[in-house]
Structure 1
Amino acid sequence: MKLKVGAPALLVSLALTTLTGCSMTDDNNSGDLPDAGTSTTAHASDAAEKVSSEIYDLIGVKGKATEPGPGVTGCSGKDPEKYFQVFHAWTFTPASPDALDGVMERLKADLPKNGWKVVDFGRDTSKNKNVTLTADNDAKKHSVKITHWATENPPQLNMMVVSGCYQVPDGEKVR
């Protein structure tokens, strides 16, 4: 599995800070990005894909997801050769345009039953007033922001799954 940081890294970094900056429980209570433990980038990317797959299953609607793999970015203020964060952005398009009716409210109810804490739910400030949901899973050290693009043709769900800050094992570097 080859991972890389591309041009969208700056935007992703902003999204990651927004999602995990203060939401996930942080053991040191400093408001910093939560510690996700020690891992290689490959194992951490696999974990992010698994989290995305679990969320896909919770959507409970037939459709298709885009298939970009996870990416890796640094943790703000930490050595980029030793510390990293994983992000997995993807979009879900339902088989039927009206299939997403009520899905955000259902996710708001179902995510907590599966270890997630909904930390934000409501309309965004865009012209379309999209419904957004942000949730944290402290056990998995991941956050997700789901946006329902109801006015798109066809309507879609946009996902951004992000991890806490990992440290590579001794002798390893972020790849």
Structure 2
Amino acid sequence: MEVEQASSRIGEIAALQGEVTDTGAMTVRCTNYDSEENVYRVRHPWSFHQVPLAAMEEAMERLRTGLPEEGWKIVKDGVDDSPAQSPQIVAESEGQEYAVDLRLLDERKYGDDPSLIEVTVVSACYRSK
């Protein structure tokens, strides 16, 4: 799947050595269309974990500079709207075929959960035949 290829390239830009949790890409219905239409998108959520927080912060910086070099336009670079206000980068691919949402979840703000970089790549909506 092309979404998984985009995800792989994002992983290469991040250049983190650690564990990757990958649920695999899945097809989901686009919610902004009539439910009787066959309009879908592909969603690929995964994460980096078992990496020191400082290395994850460096990876976010590599993504911040590397994504534009690879044809991605950063449309948000700040914090998310969670109580922890996690660092978040949202980018769209050239031509907007894909979008990626990257969040650094810091274990110091989430209690017992380990730090991780949460990555979600989604395709544009498409009509199935």
**TM value normalised by structure 2:** 0.84
Secondary structure at the aligned position of 1:102 is classed as: helix
- Gaps (5+ residues) in structure 1? 1-45, 170-175
Q: CA deviation at 1:50?
A: 0.8
- Aligned-residue sequence identity (percent) comes to 28
RMSD of Structure 2 on Structure 1 (CA): 1.9
CA–CA distance in 2 between the matches of 1:87 and 1:143? 10
Task: Give 1:109 shift.
Answer: 0.9
Larger Rg: 1
Of 83, 86, 90 in structure 1, the residue corresponding to residue 42 of structure 2 is: 86
Indicate if the aligned counterparts of 1:67 and 1:90 stay in contact, CA closer than 8 A: yes
CA distance in 1, matches of 2:44, 2:36: 19
Q: 1:142-161 counterparts in 2 under 5 A?
A: 142-151=98-107, 153-161=113-121
Mapping of 1:56-71 within 5 angstroms? 56-71=11-26
Equivalent residue number for residue 54 of structure 1: 9
Q: CA deviation at 1:118?
A: 0.2
2:93 corresponds to 1:137: yes
Q: Does 2:84 correspond to 1:124?
A: no
Q: Distance in 2 between matches of 1:140 and 1:65?
A: 26
Q: Does 1:101 align with 2:87?
A: no
Q: Is the 8 A contact 1:74 1:80 kept in 2?
A: no
The two structures have a TM-score, normalised by structure 1, of: 0.64
CA displacement, residues 75-103 of structure 1 (integer Å, 9 cap, x when unaligned): 22146563211101111114444321332
Q: 1:49, CA displacement in angstroms?
A: 0.8
Give the number of equivalent residue pairs.
124
SS for the counterpart of 2:81 is coil
1:102-159 superposed Cα distances (whole Å, 9 cap, x missing partner):
3222211110000100000001232322100000003460000000012255321001
Q: Which amino acid aligns with 2:127?
A: Q
Contact 2:48 2:117 in 1 (8 A): yes
